[in-house]
Structure 1
Amino acid sequence: MITRDFDAFLLQARATPADVGPACAKAAFIVAPEAFRLAEQSASDNRYMDLDIEVGADRALAQHRGLQLAMSQTLPTLCFPGHVDTPDALFPNNVFATVPGRLILGHMRHPVRQREVERADIRGFFTKVLGYEEVDLRTQSGVCELTGALVIDRARGLGFAGLSERCDEAGAAAMHAAFGLRATLMFDLAPGEYHTNVVLSVLAGRAVVLAPSGFADKAAAEAISALYAPHAVVLDAAQKNAFTGNCIALAEDQCWLSQVAEASLRSEQRAALREAGFELVAVELDEIEKAGGSLRCCVAEIF
């Protein structure tokens, strides 16, 4: 099922067991922010970027290295080099995604990001080393920026596709099929929002963090919250802008987010995450966040 009907989705989702596979990835890869700079094309529809601010390449590299060192204590974490001509490559989850045995290639909106899909080293690692089959979504017309646009409950095979300039209905349908999902809910993001994973995160299949202000129709946020109740953490607009919704469960008991995002949480929200079984792990990423994404955007999961 792929639908915009909240009630129909909830009916099926609530009856769907958590038996698809692991809720969290077995490994991950990241891409270094070489010659860190802001991409003008990406800034055209990413309001979290400001081309007038200065960015520090050395500091971004150091923070990225710190992210890899921290992540490696939880799961195997590979780092591929970045390239000067692909400044957004440090956010590989929009371009590359996996299910067991398959590497999925996204259909990116901007030419500067379309170049990333051609990476022979990343694709070769999956096809030649791991023996994964490629599923190339560039062959269909829909725009679909993978796990930036689509938030997935891996345990139950549920998808949440926020539609924007970075993902249309055709692209959502292509991702629904490529990821082999049981049910996907489509909804419009609020004007100015570019990716779903900035306003929504499903943590290990049992909790949700979301910002209703990032949804065009608040009923969509309410439906998703109801599905994961009582483990639903609702963010205000300021927390959304601090990338608090751009968090990820890298282990069944760990919620990872940036230091800025973690600092924005209120005491009752921290308690709600603890009650859901999550320890908060915060990493310094404020320089990288100037590029319009945060911790979850940096992580390409390997299933």
Structure 2
Amino acid sequence: MRNQSQLIAVMRCAYIRYMRVPMPRHYVMCPPRYFAVDYAINPWMDPDVPVDPERALRQWTELRDTYRRLGHLVDEVEPQPGLPDMVFAANSGTVVDGRVLGSKFAKPQRAAEAEHFRRWFVENGFRDVTMPQETNEAEGDFTWTGLLMLAGAGFRTEPGAHAEAQEVLGVPVVSLRLVDPRYYHLDTALFVLSEATDERPAHIAYYPEAFSPGSQAVLRRLFPDAVVADAEDARCFGLNAISDGRHVVLPVEATALAEKVAAQGYEPVFVDISELRKAGGGPKCCTLEIRK
């Protein structure tokens, strides 16, 4: 990693070249008031490793406040006792053009979260809310690029949910197969740096080895200019990032990835999610985006 002054110089030159423009976003989050690791439903979880709920809450609060400092709207959902993973709001629904496709969790430990979030959508004015028939873990495995939806399968979301999402949300869906159990959701291996516009295509970052060979070929064809992350980027949940088109919020450990995105004109914004990562989550996992 270059020193800070070198990174700033890279960012300035790249920003002039690419002119990355931030777009205001609307996020939904859920405080980790009942956060714990009482069970293991992904390779990152170990109930024998101590968890500090107060530290997790401080990290979550800093993430929320970072979004607000960047000019984004953040709504909060009331957490519920007995649902320690409810903090990972990205798994609660997928919203495109105001249409909501709810979630249906693969693991029984999280199943009750779906109804709490469904009620939140209805109580907050969303009238077009569909609860799925197929298992889908929402933005964990559905990533909107501005023109099409990338959809992951292999560990949580079922392939049949991809067709259901296309019917409910009315957008084209491209299926991708995940093959590494550490990257059990699409949002642990890929994120959108900037959405597609009339002037230019979407720009993404991803970790190729998380995907099957065929899915890697699809990603290369669709996104030839993608930022390609390495194993170290992936292990620290660097791909579980959030971008508003200019600012990229990512874990403090993801220094190599930060340098790569800075060279493309984006501005890295670091947050500490080390406590939340003990449950297999990062910035994106904590963040559901509302697209109206």
Where on the TM-score scale, by shorter chain, does this alignment land: which range? 0.7 to 0.9
1-side partners of 2:284 and 2:164: how far apart?
A: 22
Ranges of 4+ aligned residues in structure 1 off by more than 6 Å = none
TM-score, length basis structure 2: 0.83
Task: After TM superposition, give the deviation of residue 191 of structure 1 in Å.
Answer: 3.7
2-side partners of 1:221 and 1:94: how far apart?
A: 24
Matched residues, percent identical?
Answer: 26
Task: After TM superposition, give the deviation of residue 292 of structure 1 in Å.
Answer: 0.2
TM-score, length basis structure 1: 0.80
1:104 matches 2:96: no
- Note if contact 1:146-1:175 (Cα within 8 Å) is conserved in structure 2: no
1:145 matches 2:144: no
Structure 1 window deviating more from structure 2 (160-169 vs 52-61): it is 160-169
Which residue number in structure 1 is paired with residue 246 of structure 2? Answer: 253
1-side partners of 2:287 and 2:51: how far apart?
A: 21
2-side partners of 1:239 and 1:127: how far apart?
A: 37
Relative to 1, partners in 2 of residues 1:266 and 1:100: Cα closer, same or farther, differing over 3 Å?
A: closer
Which residue number in structure 2 is paired with residue 229 of structure 1? Answer: 224
Which residue number in structure 1 is paired with residue 11 of structure 2? Answer: none
Which residue number in structure 1 is paired with residue 164 of structure 2? Answer: 174
Task: After TM superposition, give the deviation of residue 110 of structure 1 in Å.
Answer: 1.2
Task: After TM superposition, give the deviation of residue 204 of structure 1 in Å.
Answer: 2.2
CA deviation digits over 1:56-86, x for unaligned, max 9?
0000011111111111122111222322311
Within 5 Å, give how 1:4-153 maps onto structure 2: 26-40=25-39, 43-44=40-41, 46-73=42-69, 74-119=71-116, 122-137=117-132, 140=133, 142-153=134-145
Aligned residue for 2:27, secondary structure, equals strand
2-side partners of 1:200 and 1:237: how far apart?
A: 13
1-side partners of 2:278 and 2:168: how far apart?
A: 31
| Residue identity opposite 2:34 in structure 1 | A
Which residue number in structure 1 is paired with residue 234 of structure 2? Answer: 240
2:257 to 244, 261, 265: 265
Q: Is there any run of 5+ residues in structure 1 with no aligned partner, and where?
A: 1-22
- Note if contact 1:244-1:264 (Cα within 8 Å) is conserved in structure 2: no
Task: After TM superposition, give the deviation of residue 39 of structure 1 in Å.
Answer: 4.3
Relative to 1, partners in 2 of residues 1:202 and 1:98: Cα closer, same or farther, differing over 3 Å?
A: same
2-side partners of 1:282 and 1:177: how far apart?
A: 37
Relative to 1, partners in 2 of residues 1:123 and 1:188: Cα closer, same or farther, differing over 3 Å?
A: closer
Task: After TM superposition, give the deviation of residue 30 of structure 1 in Å.
Answer: 0.4
Aligned residue for 1:130, secondary structure, equals coil
Aligned residue for 1:70, secondary structure, equals helix
Task: After TM superposition, give the deviation of residue 242 of structure 1 in Å.
Answer: 0.9
CA deviation digits over 1:83-131, x for unaligned, max 9?
2311110111112221233222111111221101121xx4444324324
1:197 matches 2:187: yes
Residue-pair matches, total? 262
Relative to 1, partners in 2 of residues 1:273 and 1:47: Cα closer, same or farther, differing over 3 Å?
A: farther
| Residue identity opposite 1:302 in structure 2 | I
Relative to 1, partners in 2 of residues 1:252 and 1:178: Cα closer, same or farther, differing over 3 Å?
A: same
Which residue number in structure 1 is paired with residue 283 of structure 2? Answer: 295
| Residue identity opposite 1:189 in structure 2 | L
Q: Is there any run of 5+ residues in structure 2 with no aligned partner, and where?
A: 1-21, 196-201
